[in-house]
Chain A
Amino acid sequence: MLGRWRSLSGVTAKVYALLLGLLALAPFIFEWINQPFYLDLLSRALILAIAALSLNLILGFGGMVSLGHAAYIGIGAYSVGIASYYDYYNGWLHLGLALGISALFALITGAISLRTKGVYFIMITMAFSQMLYFLLLSLEEYGADDGLVIYQRSEFPALITMESSTALYYWVFAVLLLTLLFIQRLVYARFGRVIVGAKFNETRLQTLGFNTYRYRLLCYVLSAMICSVAGVLLGNFTEFISPDMIGWARSGELIFMVIIGGVSTFFGPLLGALAFIILEELLSKITVYWHLIFGVMLVLLVLLGKGGIVGWLRRFDAPSAPAPPSTVPRKTGETPPEDA
């Protein structure tokens, strides 16, 4: 992991390159085989991949297990929905609202929840996202639990539109590439070193003079802002918003994508989101009870294997290839909340 792109040699790197190439050509491929429906499926997968990538930044690299990340998808989607409701269709406005509100919400809730650790942190992030869920549920003006239809996608004057599904797909793909690149640069920067270091030994980082709380908080806010962009895209994609977008099951699914793909890896969340959508599509065709298979897979995934798809890919590489670092350091004892 330390060797920048050097570790991306061998089979794993070839798979990544092939994948990105296929994703870039996907609209043409699907048109060629005359299956336009698959493009919608893929757009959804890539939007979820952006959200999963942002979650991986705090969960994988930072060791902050958030069970409320879907809240930021909701903030992004509702920014589009509510602005459009009042006939403001400017995409820059939507993006600005999403980034601003998600940053503010993450700053306030993060400042409180990052004072705690372990079980507390998981439950508090979950509780705050549920707070937002019930808030949206109580807003009769914006459809409450019936949701709100978005009649027109965001407009970006002087840029290509989002109107056709191919245009929207390339929007999503471009944001995905930017996110991949941004997180990669961030993790290798000094900032990222501190975040990853604090996950493994916070005391040592603090002894070195780093205010780890502030680093974590900033990381949490950045991750939330990226996720809100995924929300803006999702709102435009589904053209419909409802509180169900941020129910805690959605947050759980995001974690599932990160883990199945490969936690603390740069491409893992992308692979995980693709796998999730493919599984959902295949299993729901086999049986209405497909959630049962999903549940069993989750249990087995934890009991049997670690490292996800990326871990599995890396086994094909040279034995010197680094193993994915474990998510959170093994527990040595109690993880009590930190006293202020």
Chain B
Amino acid sequence: MDWNLLITQLLNGVQLGLLLFLLAAGLTLIFGIMDFINLSHGSFYMIGAYFCGTIAAKSGSFLLGIIGGMAGVFMVGALVEWLIARKLYRSDHLDHVLVTFGLILIFDTSVHMIWGASGMAIPLPPFLDGQFTLGSLELPLYRLVIIAAGLLVAAFLYVLVSKTRLGMLIRAGASNRVMVEALGVNINRLFLVVFALGAMLAGLAGMLIAPITEASIGMGNDIIIIAFVVVIIGGIGSIKGAFYAALIMGLLDTLSRSYLDDVMKLFMTADYAETAAPALSAMLVYILMAAVLAFRPQGLFPPAGAK
């Protein structure tokens, strides 16, 4: 067995998992606290990448691009909450689906109008664009940076949610929203902050991946579905659940793509395995979701006290 390949694939899986976590953390809070289904969460992922790319190109600094991009997406998220989402928390989920589907069209077309139809490549600064050598193992430095950034955000969220007053309100909101309102908390402000924070994290995920894949229209629309699956498996409203589920999903997806055909060759002909493996690995994420739902419809780590 090629151990170097395995380690590389494991790290790729962790990297995908952490990106999914950045997307799912915001989603799960918005679902859990506001009971609002936001299909356009992937649009924040996309505009994050475009903001970062534009600022980085103008200023010449990738770091400035990240910081400016995060601030920008935070503002856009706050604007969407204030103008649209806020008016719909009390209406039914069908309205949420329609409005956020409309928002996807608006965001995608706006990006098309502003930045054009072709994607935007975002060059890495030289100090991130190297190889990290460990014995015979060579790893792209930037992938390690993504992992470090993801873990850093996870730690930040952990402190925010479990140690601060805002975090206490967020946890309380995910467990019992009505009670939090009844206790006189300024619920409008809480919702605004949670929504914008979630948008910012999704934007950050887009910025981190963009130097590898480039920013493109609709880049968020596929990955957001896996983020939904992460939210469902983790339990709606649970940051902890989103974290574990995202890592499981990232590893499962990456490893099954590279190793499933080898595993399947053990008990079927090579020909058949090579046809069936890609199909099965494409569905594995969803099969896991179905299995979790069959045994624990509330997800793996539902927030404490949530009914």
Residues of A within 8 A of B (CB): 59, 65, 67, 109, 112-113, 115-116, 118-120, 122-124, 126-128, 130-131, 134-135, 137-141, 248-249, 252, 255-256, 259, 263, 289, 291-292, 294-299, 301-303, 326-331, 333-340
| In the bound complex, CA of A126 to CA of B281 (Å) | 18
Nearest chain B CB to A82 CB, angstrom units: 14
B290 is an interface residue with CB less than 8 A from chain A: yes
Set of chain B residues within 8 Å of A255, measured between Cβ atoms: 94, 97-98, 101
Q: Which residues of the other chain, B, contact A115 by a CB distance below 8 angstroms?
A: 293-294, 297
Instruction: State which of B13-21, B124-132, B224-232 sits at the interface with chain A.
Output: B224-232
- B106 lies within 8 A of chain A by Cβ: yes
B240 to chain A, nearest CB (A): 18
Which of B3-11, B84-92, B193-201 interfaces with chain A? B84-92
Q: What 3 A-B pairs are tightest by C-beta distance, nearest first?
A: A298-B102, A295-B105, A131-B286
Q: Are A299 and B92 in contact (CB under 8 A)?
A: no
Chain A min CB distance to B115 (Å)? 13
A289→B293 contact, CB < 8 A: no
Number of interface residues of B (CB under 8 A): 53
B-side residues, CB < 8 A to A, are 31, 35, 37, 39, 84, 87-88, 90-95, 97-99, 101-106, 108-110, 112-113, 177-178, 221, 225, 228-229, 231-232, 236, 275, 278-279, 281-283, 285-287, 289-290, 293-294, 297-298, 306-307
Rounded to whole Å, the gap between the CB of A125 and the closest CB of chain B is: 11
* CB-based contact A123/B102 at 8 Å: no
Q: A115-B293, A301-B102, A328-B92 provided; 9 other pairs, C-beta below 8 A? A: A120-B232, A127-B229, A138-B282, A259-B94, A298-B102, A302-B91, A302-B102, A329-B92, A331-B90
Question: Judging by beta carbons under 8 Å apart, are B92 and A331 in contact?
Answer: yes
Give complex CA distance A330, B94 in Å: 11
Q: Which residues of A contact B221 (CB under 8 A)?
A: 248-249
A65-B93, A131-B286 given; A292·B109 CB < 8 A: yes
B contact residues around A59 at 8 Å (CB): 94
The prevalent SS among residues of B at the interface is: helix
- In the docked arrangement, what's the CA distance between A337 and B297, Å? 7
Instruction: List residues of chain B with CB within 8 A of the CB of A122.
Output: 37, 93, 97
Flag if A252 contacts B97 (CB, 8 Å).
yes
Q: Is the CB of B106 within 8 A of A299?
A: yes
A residues less than 8 Å from B104 (CB atoms): 295
Closest to A300 in B: B102
Which one of B98, B225, B281 contacts A302 once the chains associate, using CB atoms below 8 Å?
Answer: B98
Contacts of A128 in B (CB 8 A): 286, 290
Q: Are A65 and B307 within 8 A (Cβ)?
A: no
Check B92–A327 contact: CB distance below 8 A: yes
Whether B35 lies near A335 (C-beta < 8 A) is yes
Does the CB pair A256–B101 fall under 8 Å?
yes
Contact of A331 among B35, B229, B289, B307 (CB under 8 A): B35
Q: Are A337 and B94 in contact (CB under 8 A)?
A: no
Q: Are B282 and A134 in contact (CB under 8 A)?
A: yes
Q: Whose C-beta in chain B lies nearest to the C-beta of A118?
A: B93
How far is it, in angstroms, between the C-alpha of A141 and the C-alpha of B12 when the chains are bound? 29
